[in-house]
Amino acid sequence: MGLFILVKKLIIILKKLLILIFMEYSNLLVLLVLAISPFIYVPYIVPEEKRQSNSLAWLIITFLLGLVNCMGYLMILFLLGITL
């Protein structure tokens, strides 16, 4: 029974990978820019002494901002009915 669940999860992961492989390159480029952009603009917004006091937390916050940007873009595509 446990092997069946493992195989089922593996199939789900492979389906997601296939979706990413066959995604249009323009969408991949936009998602990449949206994911990386917080690492560019957060250092200009937050002073360096605040970032250095807890650098791991700021790294995680910056990564999560990029993730939220990507999720927002994907939601807009979904709501407009645009295929990936």
- The residues spanned by each domain of the chain are 24-84
Question: Which residues have C-beta within 8 Å of that of residue 73, sequence separation ≥ 6?
Answer: 30, 31, 34
Block residue for tokens 């990507």: 70
The answer to whether the beta carbons of residues 66 and 33 sit under 8 Å apart is no
Query: What pLDDT, in 10s, does the model give residues 37-83?
Result: 998 888 888 888 877 888 888 889 999 999 999 999 989 888 888 77
pLDDT at residue 42 in the model: 86
Question: Which residues have C-beta within 8 Å of that of residue 63, sequence separation ≥ 6?
Answer: 38
Q: Tell me which of 72 and 12 has the higher pLDDT.
A: 72
Block residue for tokens 């940007």: 69
